[in-house]
Structure 1
Amino acid sequence: MIPVTTMQGARLLRYGTPADMPVQEVELPALQPGQVLIRMAYASINPSDLAFLSGQYGIKKKLPAVPGFEGSGTVVAYGGGWSRFLVGRRVACASSSGDGTWAQYMVADAKGCIPLRRSVSLEQGSSLIVNPMTAVAMYNIFEKGRHGALIQTAAASALGGMIRKLAAVNGRPVINIVRRDEQVNTLEEQGAQYVLNSTAPDFERKLAVLARKLQATMAVDAVGGALTQQLVGCMPAFSTVLVYGGLSGEACALSPGLLIFKEAQIRGFWLSLWLQKQSALSLMRLGWSVQKHLAGELKTEVRRIYPLAEIHAAIEDYSRQMSGGKVLINCNP
């Protein structure tokens, strides 16, 4: 039995601007078999959320809809089947269809819920899926490809820090690319050995030298635009660039000659599709494994927490400084 029938939630009325997203009363749908109702504790804000709000993401929902792709909370009801064992459990949760996490409650597929260890707080659990699982999945692709070193753009981000720490634990070199000198200084203070500023006049020369020296034949690119072509041009032949973001807002620039004469490969990575390929048991095991490292390699630094009623201030804060720590929404303050 569902304990509530309505809730407060942020509702996106049209794509393009968060201004068209009032916090208002939303009716909860009936639970279907395999679904659970989660009383949300915290929800995170990620670049994918901003892309969704603008209508530029790979998922478009019928509007009005509650945004938010990940969060954490407690399961309070279930729709039947094996999901009964989740009732009363604290979980990390994800949304790809229907209303999302920026609300007091969310109806979710039980398969997408990951029970939290006692040692993991609801704050950390709210950022368990998008960044940590993307970092683990892409780093595993790097390891399986037997590349000499990894190049990553947007290296000052939370996800960039996770990839860097995973590589450090395994003794693998990473070339970190950022956009500002202060980010170079920050990463070097954190122990990063190779950090380059993509706006520096000698950026391409330094990247080419390092990529050749370290045999950096794989890159993960969150920026796109002209930077994608710069990566391919500086990397050795037979290299692979994994594009997983478009922070530049521009199409990836690619010269046919680079693809042909270097036999470079450009691939996409989308966590949603990757997760769909995993079984419920595999996801549970992965989630359990990721939680072991939330205090170390996969830790998320939280900069500020806003109540749901201040969702617009939270989005503005995060948009202004996306690499300055995670901004969370307290869904039930």
Structure 2
Amino acid sequence: MRAALVKEYGPPEGLTIEEVADLVPGPGEVVIEVGAVSVNFPDILVVEGTYQNLPQRPFSPGKEAAGRVVAVGEGVGRVAVGQRVLALVEYGGYAEQLVAPENVVVELPDAVSYSDAAAFGLAYSTAHLGLRERAQMKAGETVLVTGAGGGVGSAAVQLAKAWGATVIALAEDDEKADLARRQGADVTLTSSAESLRDDILAATGGRGVDVTLEMLGGDFLIQVIRASAWEGRVVIVGFASGGQTPIKPGHILVKNISLVGLQSSDYHSRTPEHVRSALSEIFELSQQGRISSCIDTSFTLDQVGAGLQYVKDGRARGKVVVTTGLG
């Protein structure tokens, strides 16, 4: 099989495409012939060697892949050879084959393509876990999504709207704001950190927001906390702005605000059944036409370095996938 390999940490263009041995499943594992894999920002950190979880080199990055099961190991009983599946893993997706534990594999409905499944995988399950598991979002609440032009942000806007929320989307620029609007956002903002609190309060009649899925960090997080409603919940997903400004406990205390974190990959290893359940609901919502994968563009396996650079440069308007040609 062919695989994109990290031999030395560095820029995405340093990935090499090589022939490697076909994979063999161990006990409890399955081998998947990959049809599509999604590009996620953590993949860039993995390639550059700055991610918190790095395997021994050489290895293939890629945290989610959709395809067809071609082999199963001893003890596998939930999936079978020939099934269409999606797997969420720590690495290994940028290849023509992927080996994955059975418990992180979810079956695909026939109506969901490999590209759509890969685009849904990590981003949409992260948004699902953030809104449902960590924030306990309810219909009728007001939800703020920061970083709304990215993969998780786009997913959160659509899911919150599908579940009956009023959605406010904070986007980097007018183009990404327009994307969020088309995905169902009721209000779109392109605020700076300095104006964010006032803009949110203006958009909510001074009440503030019930739930925030927060991906920017720094001063944006501070202003989001200050613009939360009484008993608001803020779920921290990332720090895309690069800042980790100290938080004042008084801002949390005076309105009984809950500030919680989300490391979605922990759910893959600790409670994979939650992830499988989330993805099953995501696929169902897709088939009902209530959400879409929002794929911006795709690259071939030979172009994987360019696909990573496309995301790193901030050019993506939605999800980016890498395809292998498997139909």
- TM above 0.5: yes
Give, in whole Å, the separation in 1 of the partners of 2:183 and 2:35.
31
SS of residue in 2 equivalent to 1:14 = coil
Q: Percent identity?
A: 23
Match among 22, 26, 37 for residue 32 of structure 1: 26
1:255 paired to 2:248: yes
Matched, 1:173 2:204: no
Contact 1:35 1:79 in 2 (8 A): yes
Deviates further, 207-216 or 44-53: 207-216
State the distance in 1 between where 2:20 and 2:177 align.
45
Q: How many Å apart are 1:298 and its aligned residue? A: 3.3
TM-score for the superposition, normalised by structure 2: 0.87
Do the aligned partners of 1:124 and 1:294 also contact (CA within 8 Å) in 2? no
Question: C-alpha offsets along residues 237-288 of structure 1, whole Å, 9 cap, x if unaligned?
Answer: 54332111222223244234434555543321011112333354x5544433
CA distance in 1, matches of 2:240, 2:209: 23
C-alpha displacement of 1:16: 4.0
Establish whether residue 46 from structure 1 lines up as the match of residue 52 from structure 2. Answer: no
CA distance in 2 between partners of 1:286 and 1:237 (Å): 28
Match for 1:162 among 149, 155, 163?
155
Highest relative contact order (Cα 8 Å, sep 6+), 1 or 2? 2
Give, in whole Å, the separation in 1 of the partners of 2:114 and 2:308: 20
**Alignment partner for residue 294 of structure 2, among 301, 320, 324?**
301
CA contact (8 A) 2:79 2:102 kept: no
Give CA deviations for 1:128-148 in whole Å, capped at 9, x if unaligned. Answer: 321221222222144457884
**2:142 aligned residue:** 149
**What is the match of residue 312 of structure 1?**
305
1: CA distance, partners of 2:47 / 2:243: 17
Does the C-alpha gap of structure 1 residues 35 and 190 become closer, same or farther in structure 2, counting only changes over 3 Å? closer
Structure 1 residues 54 and 249, CA gap change in structure 2 (3 angstroms): farther
| Residue 71 of structure 1, CA deviation | 1.1
Structure-1 residue corresponding to 2:98: 106
Report the number of matched residues. 324
Q: Does 1:207 align with 2:196?
A: no
For 1:126 and 1:191, locate their aligned partners in 2 and report how far apart those are by CA, in whole Å: 22
Structure 2 residue ranges without an equivalent (≥5): none
1:21 matched to 2:15: yes
Q: Which runs of 5+ in 1 are unaligned?
A: 1-6
SS of structure 2 residue aligned to 1:81: coil
**2:85 maps to 1:91:** yes
Q: Distance in 1 between matches of 2:41 and 2:196?
A: 25
**What's the TM-score, normalizing by structure 1?**
0.86
Which secondary structure does the structure 2 equivalent of 1:123 belong to? Answer: helix
User: Is 2:28–2:75's contact at 8 Å kept on the other side of the alignment?
Assistant: yes
SS of structure 2 residue aligned to 1:130: helix
Q: 2:132 aligns with which of 140, 144, 155?
A: 140
